[in-house]
Structure 1
Amino acid sequence: MLPGSGTQYQGAPRQLGPSGVSPCHARPTWQQQTVSVPVPRQSQAGGGAGVPVSQVSATPPGDARGASPTTQLSQPIAGREAEELSRIETGFYFDSLQSLAGLQRPGSAQRPAAGEPARPEPLRQYGYTTFAADVSTFAPVDDIPVGPDYVLGPGDDLTINVWGPVDATVVRTVDRNGRIVLPKVGDLRVWGLTFSQADRLIREQLARYFRGFQTSVTMGRLRTLRVHVVGEVCQPGVYTLSSLATLTNALFSAGGPTKLGSLREVRLLRNGHQVGTLDLYDFLQRGDRTRDFRLESGDTVFVPTVGEVAAIAGEVKRPAIYELRGQARVSDLVALAGGITPSSYLKRVQIVRAQPNAERVTVDVDLSQYYLKGDRTSNPPVNGGDLVLIYRSDPRIYNTIKVEGAVKYPGTYELKPMMRIAQLLPADKLLPEAQPERVEIARRRPDLAVEIIPVNLKKAWGGDQDQDVLLRPLDEVAVRTELKAARLVTLSGQLVRPGRYVIAEGERLSSLLDRAGGFTERAYLRSAVFTRQALQKVEKERLDEFVRVQEQRMFAAASTTVVGAEKEEVASQQQALQVQREALRALAAKVAVGRMVVRLDTPEKLRGSPDDIILVDGDSLEVAEPPASVYVLGAVRTSTSVLWVQGASAEYYVNRVGGLTKEADKKELHIVKADGSALSSFTNLRDVEPGDTIVVPPKQEEKIRVLPTIRDVVQTVGAALLSFAALAVLF
């Protein structure tokens, strides 16, 4: 079934090119494809075959529309751009490569490969994709209603129902002579009559022989037509169509015009005379089918070669290549493209014109004068091969002023003519904390340097013209204030009233603890954690520096061969270095806490002591419950926590986790207290408290292996003695 026609197709199926698509209309695909003309058409189509964009050279030949399809590409193009281009599209693609780069809307340009510039979308010939869809089914036509203007012909079936004194149903087929035979009436000639005229004729003839009856005449099976479709179509030939078929139905049957065929002058020939022409642009752009003539058997549909074409790109609604008809002007081409977009700039419309036997030239016109004043000189004619470019207007906004700071409605404002600062910022637009005496205007000088203009708004409101500055485009006005954000400190854990507190400037820790009600009975002050945001940055910087130094040491150790070591030992050390690097990476990913050691006490005892620090914004204090264990880690058998025993020394806890390993450095053993401080003296190691951490670092590996080194030296000396003995025997 042809789209919208209800016609029966009895011709050969549409041939496909090597890539499996129609030879006339490319379809979107993600694979590069080459479409060929069917074999019977190759000798006469000339430029009918498409040219893949990936085979088009970036340097145009003398005449792009006559270019050979085998032109090689200097820069292959992939993706959607691999859809084939016709010869006409290829010619405009050369022009648009340079001209359209600045005209693409965001997202319309194709994604370039890494390191390549973005390529514009190729311009396509308008209207030909309408015929790109394959016809899916060709069903017989038996149930399509016909209108009263349907013209009867040989092969049509008429169903005549009579009821009343006589009940009968008669089906008659119009014979080759255009007649039907009715009982008692005889033969009637209906060929050439419309359906309404035939209905009236049958009623009148039956009324001559019958009285008091009712009659109904309907159409049965419709006849078929044989129509020739020739010219620049995808599959010229003879097609069997429904008697309801029109010109467009015949074009769909033949696959539509090729891209070298005209869409604006499709001719209908009947009995050697031209019945009429069809401009498909009327149908495609306005839905007008008044010139879509009904076909008759023996008609010929002829599609001539495409006429002059011109392209339009940029800020129009439908950029494409259009076929011209008659003397067209730039405004006519804009109308074919659906009109301009709101962001178009008509004061500089550019025409890239191809001159015969000469290089291309560029013509700039002010099309706005034609639309505003009707100036025809601003609307020049368009020649075949012209490329019209409509650029975007400047996206920047210049008549604005930016206001920020202590104002009620910050943002961007319109700059009105002769606008001054007092008019922009009256007193009711400032916040209560604003300082009208401290207003600054940041202005760009002609040399692009920034100039700061101080303004006293109170004097400007009072009529001081020196302070009531005349504003300029793109000025930035800032209203200052001395209001500072509230300082917040967080208290959590074992406090009577934990939470977030606003602190006064210079307030100390003892004062805040008084406001929080002090500590609860379960508070363990020695394990309190006090953090400061300012220390987090310092801690992070020192951690990064430490990681950098350790990485340098590891790289140096990895590049140095250990003296006296065997290959197995070297491999083992390299593996150990790799483990150290991974541990170092984990350390680098550690989040800096910003902890500061503070020895807490009750607010009364803390007041006036060195630990009664001044609080700043972002400080945090967490007081935990009393711990019941001691953590042991490092070069020990098992790193774990051990239940705290009063009076037990560090040696006791090390023994409880299995003792020291061979790599342990007992001299470097130290204790990290619950408050964050560290102890390493022998006497202090005996004083272990709940929440402490005992750290046993490993020893540094020796760089010299004694036994392998002695063995190597003995082997070297023995070899030297044997050499001396051999020399003594010889001489």
Structure 2
Amino acid sequence: MKIKALSLLVFMACSPLLMAQSSMTDQQVLEYVKQGMSEGKDQRQMATELARRGVTREQAERVKKLYEQEQGVSTSKMSGTEQNEARLREATQEESTTSVLENPQPDSRELAQENQVFGRNIFNTRNLTFEPSVNLATPPNYRLGPGDEVIIDIWGTSQNTIRQQISPDGTINIEKIGPVSLSGMTVSEANEYLKRVLGKTYSGLDALDGTLEIRLTLGNARTIQINVMGEVVQPGTYALSSFSTVFHALYRAGGVNEIGSLRNVQVTRNGKTVAKVDVYDFIMKGKTQDDIRLQEGDVIIVPAYEALVQISGNVKRPMKFEMKKNETLATLINYAGGFSADAYTRSLRVVRQNGEEYEINTVKEIDYSAYPMRNGDVVTAEAILNRFTNKLEVRGAVYRPGIYQLNGEINTVRALVNEAKGLMGDAFTNRAVLQREREDLTTEIISVDVRSIMAGTSPDIPLQKNDILYIPSIHDLEDRGDVAIFGEVAKPDSYSYSDNMTLEDLIIRAGGLRESASTVRVDVSRRIKDPKSTHSTDSIGQMFTFALKDGFVIDGEQGFTLQPYDQVFVRRSPGYQAQQNVQVTGEVIFGGTYAMTTTEERLSDLVKKAGGATPKAYLRGAKLIRVANDEEKKRMRDVIDLMNRQFGKAMMDSLDIRVEDTFSVGIDLEKAMAQPGSEYDLVLREGDVLDVPKLNNTVKVNGAVMMPNTVGYLSDKNANYYLDQAGGYALNAKKSKKFVIYMNGQVARIKGRSKDKIEPGCEIIVPSKKNKRVNVGEILGYASSFGSLATMFATISNLIKK
């Protein structure tokens, strides 16, 4: 798919159709190309459509570069042969996303790998430096030179150690002997020479039966200078350890460049070529004998490659490989790691340049070892065909359905059924289906009388490759839908239908009746079924109603037999009620949880059950907390959505307002106790919590005032008094919109100079004008006093309205 998109972009960039000014962005063009390719559109058709939309050649070039950046591939770096091979692959590869044997299109990583030259990265990786080891013993054939440090140990009847560096003139200076020349000698030659020289000073050193021994070892090795020339990344002169080899020098030079050869690296010493290194021998075979140790003044020359060949498709290592003269296609396959499991190995396609134009060569398997490779060749290994040579399949009512091999033993319907371990008991043998593929790839259906064939009364049917035998089950040929049970049973669900299943059987399978189930009302709904009917009907179902006895047996019936798709509804008994609890806390005699005894139980009833209020109770400030049901939660969500639209989601997120499981209900417990059963005396609901507080003899002042404050309550003072205690109104105060929130959660507007609105424990809030931004911290301060989301919404709305 990625190759297709890339080739289309190249086509577009060269197309004369693209002339006008585009109204599409580069990204829109790229997405259009990707979408069109996924839908299988023709390239010329897409180019024409883009031209109509005004896509120019210049824009196509930009989109091509954008695509290359996304996918990590580049057509600009592809040779003409490679581009022609890519077009060939486009024409020959069939895209399929449904078959498990699909030949997948290469992704960007695979394309990037195909454009790499095998072996070139060996000299630019951090993990492979080819540094010589300093911990190995000095090789006996190592030749000493100026700069080397030698250590001469003498032991026996006399002991001494001489440690000196070979001077630029190639000598070391030994006491009592003078200069001794060691340059150019190997370590073993220097040992023998020193025995003779030092024997003049140390008696017994040079005799066969002497009592002294001498050993010369290398201390710090010298540094040598070598030249790396030719097609390397950084040619020049390098100072290396005298133990360094050709590979280390190539690593220091950054490896070969884009035209450098890995197969013919030459080492020149004193004007003569002393070694030729083939890096592929090291990579493929581990051979290091040509990786010789370098000497002072050596010149490493990296020539240009002779031939660079690419192999792609179904091989284990699809890449570019450098080939020597006369190396064959078989060698290239070996370099590529051989074929992958799904490769077609009988022939390979080679796209070659013949000096005038491109040509295609189809190379047979027998000629792989005789077909020489040339520079620029692109070899492609295709995938095997998406088909089987000997596949049979049996499905349906046999014991081992599946795929089988067509051979001399399994080649007829009877043999295939026997291989599948025979027919199951529910097999419908009167008519099976054999699907067969013709030579022109169309299919035909052959009816098979399996019963007669298995009994030997009808001739057996020979099978062909790709035949599919389907033997249906009798259950496949009839509609035996599940039955379902709903309502007051332990496990309401759908259950598979069985012959002679009764209503009692289904209730037992569903775990029996719940305690809340009604035994006088069980309904069964049944479909209208008349396959022989020739007229429409207004009826859409039948309903049967039964009473149960002892939980299961139908009262007055012998048993009701169910049919497929029946639905059973076990109703809830209207006389069943589970306990419903409420709670009272705070200033009551016996606080705690109480069970409701009637559906009309009220606030005053709950306080009486708790022994009444204590003398310290402030009934006017009592608060009722109620558990929200689904409908109330939906209303809360609607309020939050409205707030999001009015104030912005970012602001609401900062407030962290969420749908709560409970909410506050504004009540007046003082009037409820004074007038039991009145409209003030609210009916309780399961989960309600009544909190009766102590008297809070303060008043809070908040909002757009000079100094928010908490003030002691005075019964004869009005709202203005408390506002004065907070420094009066702020400049942005909305004086006419001030309101009060009471301890019980109720909210009221303050009008005029009425002092009746102020009660102990309440909070006076002064909203601010819209031209002053609402402070989030201020709103959060109000939130603790709001009785519900609706109250909060109304309050914040007042804060920002004009």
TM-score of the pair, normalised by structure 1 = 0.58
RMSD of Structure 2 on Structure 1 (CA)? 4.8
Q: Higher mean Cα deviation, 237-246 or 393-402?
A: 393-402
- Amino acid paired to 1:332: T
Residue 245 of structure 2 is matched in structure 1 by 246
| Shift in alpha-carbon separation, 1:360–1:132, aligned structure 2, 3 A | same
Of 434, 442, 465, the residue aligned with 1:441 is 434
**Distance in 2, Cα, partners of 1:493 & 1:82:** 61
Deviation for aligned residue 1:173: 1.6
Deviation for aligned residue 1:246: 1.1
- State how 1:565-576 maps to structure 2 within 5 Å: none
Show structure 1 runs of 5+ residues with no match: 1-53, 61-70, 112-117, 536-593, 630-640, 646-731
**Distance in 2, Cα, partners of 1:534 & 1:306:** 85
Q: Deviations over 1:336-381 (max 9, x none)?
A: 222222222133311111121x2211121222x347xxxx7xx432
Q: Higher mean Cα deviation, 343-352 or 176-185?
A: 176-185
- State how 1:373-452 maps to structure 2 within 5 Å: 379-417=370-408, 419-426=411-418, 428-446=421-439, 450-452=443-445
Please tell me whether the aligned partners of residues 229 and 236 of structure 1 are also in contact (alpha carbons under 8 angstroms): yes
Deviation for aligned residue 1:284: 2.2
Deviation for aligned residue 1:605: 6.8
Structure 2 counterpart SS, 1:419: coil
**Distance in 1, Cα, partners of 2:225 & 2:88:** 48
Please tell me whether the aligned partners of residues 81 and 122 of structure 1 are also in contact (alpha carbons under 8 angstroms): no
**Distance in 1, Cα, partners of 2:212 & 2:199:** 8
**Distance in 2, Cα, partners of 1:424 & 1:137:** 63
- State how 1:662-681 maps to structure 2 within 5 Å: none
**Distance in 2, Cα, partners of 1:210 & 1:130:** 55
Please tell me whether the aligned partners of residues 222 and 241 of structure 2 are also in contact (alpha carbons under 8 angstroms): yes
Residue 447 of structure 2 is matched in structure 1 by 454
Aligned length: 499
- Amino acid paired to 1:434: A
**Distance in 2, Cα, partners of 1:521 & 1:135:** 75
Structure 2 counterpart SS, 1:524: strand
Residue 303 of structure 1 is matched in structure 2 by 302
Of 464, 469, 472, the residue aligned with 1:477 is 469
**Distance in 2, Cα, partners of 1:310 & 1:138:** 27
| Shift in alpha-carbon separation, 1:334–1:180, aligned structure 2, 3 A | same
**Distance in 1, Cα, partners of 2:494 & 2:12:** 71
Please tell me whether the aligned partners of residues 316 and 338 of structure 2 are also in contact (alpha carbons under 8 angstroms): yes
Residue 215 of structure 1 is matched in structure 2 by 214
| Shift in alpha-carbon separation, 1:520–1:270, aligned structure 2, 3 A | closer
Structure 2 counterpart SS, 1:97: helix
Residue 348 of structure 1 is matched in structure 2 by 347
| Shift in alpha-carbon separation, 1:237–1:506, aligned structure 2, 3 A | same
- State how 1:174-213 maps to structure 2 within 5 Å: 174-184=166-176, 186-203=178-195, 205-207=197-199, 209-211=202-204, 212-213=211-212
Q: Deviations over 1:418-471 (max 9, x none)?
A: 81122222295332443544433222345655433233345434555x530000
| Shift in alpha-carbon separation, 1:184–1:430, aligned structure 2, 3 A | farther
Structure 1 counterpart SS, 2:345: strand
Deviation for aligned residue 1:292: 1.1
**Distance in 1, Cα, partners of 2:436 & 2:411:** 15
Deviation for aligned residue 1:618: 7.1
Q: Does 1:467 align with 2:459?
A: yes
Please tell me whether the aligned partners of residues 96 and 122 of structure 1 are also in contact (alpha carbons under 8 angstroms): no
Of 106, 126, 129, the residue aligned with 2:104 is 106
| Shift in alpha-carbon separation, 1:301–1:85, aligned structure 2, 3 A | farther
**Distance in 2, Cα, partners of 1:498 & 1:183:** 108
Structure 2 counterpart SS, 1:425: helix
| Shift in alpha-carbon separation, 1:517–1:146, aligned structure 2, 3 A | closer
Structure 1 counterpart SS, 2:267: strand
Q: Deviations over 1:239-295 (max 9, x none)?
A: 111101111111111111111111111111122222222112212222211111211
Deviation for aligned residue 1:398: 3.4
Residue 547 of structure 2 is matched in structure 1 by 601
Deviation for aligned residue 1:228: 1.2
- Amino acid paired to 1:217: L
- Amino acid paired to 1:280: V
Q: Does 1:78 align with 2:68?
A: yes
Structure 2 counterpart SS, 1:290: coil
Q: Deviations over 1:91-119 (max 9, x none)?
A: 454234313446796373239xxxxxx98
Structure 2 counterpart SS, 1:401: strand
**Distance in 2, Cα, partners of 1:429 & 1:533:** 38
- Amino acid paired to 1:509: L
Q: Does 1:146 align with 2:92?
A: no
Deviation for aligned residue 1:142: 6.9
Residue 316 of structure 1 is matched in structure 2 by 315
| Shift in alpha-carbon separation, 1:165–1:469, aligned structure 2, 3 A | same
Structure 2 counterpart SS, 1:298: coil
Please tell me whether the aligned partners of residues 308 and 376 of structure 2 are also in contact (alpha carbons under 8 angstroms): yes
Please tell me whether the aligned partners of residues 261 and 306 of structure 2 are also in contact (alpha carbons under 8 angstroms): yes
Please tell me whether the aligned partners of residues 59 and 94 of structure 1 are also in contact (alpha carbons under 8 angstroms): no
Q: Deviations over 1:72-129 (max 9, x none)?
A: 7772233465467996x54454234313446796373239xxxxxx988652222222
Structure 2 counterpart SS, 1:230: strand
Q: Deviations over 1:557-594 (max 9, x none)?
A: xxxxxxxxxxxxxxxxxxxxxxxxxxxxxxxxxxxxx9
Deviation for aligned residue 1:236: 1.4
| Shift in alpha-carbon separation, 1:119–1:533, aligned structure 2, 3 A | farther
Residue 131 of structure 1 is matched in structure 2 by 123
- Amino acid paired to 1:162: I
Deviation for aligned residue 1:233: 1.3
Deviation for aligned residue 1:180: 2.7
Residue 287 of structure 1 is matched in structure 2 by 286
Deviation for aligned residue 1:319: 1.8
| Shift in alpha-carbon separation, 1:314–1:623, aligned structure 2, 3 A | same
| Shift in alpha-carbon separation, 1:422–1:72, aligned structure 2, 3 A | closer
**Distance in 1, Cα, partners of 2:411 & 2:495:** 46
Structure 2 counterpart SS, 1:75: helix
Please tell me whether the aligned partners of residues 159 and 171 of structure 1 are also in contact (alpha carbons under 8 angstroms): yes
**Distance in 1, Cα, partners of 2:146 & 2:11:** 53
Residue 37 of structure 1 is matched in structure 2 by none
| Shift in alpha-carbon separation, 1:363–1:515, aligned structure 2, 3 A | closer
Deviation for aligned residue 1:508: 5.2
| Shift in alpha-carbon separation, 1:515–1:218, aligned structure 2, 3 A | closer
Residue 518 of structure 2 is matched in structure 1 by 524
Please tell me whether the aligned partners of residues 57 and 73 of structure 1 are also in contact (alpha carbons under 8 angstroms): no
**Distance in 2, Cα, partners of 1:138 & 1:288:** 14
Residue 359 of structure 1 is matched in structure 2 by 357
Show structure 2 runs of 5+ residues with no match: 1-8, 16-59, 94-101, 205-210, 530-539, 579-595, 601-802
Structure 1 counterpart SS, 2:517: coil
| Shift in alpha-carbon separation, 1:532–1:189, aligned structure 2, 3 A | farther
**Distance in 1, Cα, partners of 2:541 & 2:146:** 103
**Distance in 2, Cα, partners of 1:597 & 1:93:** 75
Deviation for aligned residue 1:306: 2.2
Structure 2 counterpart SS, 1:180: strand
Residue 571 of structure 1 is matched in structure 2 by none
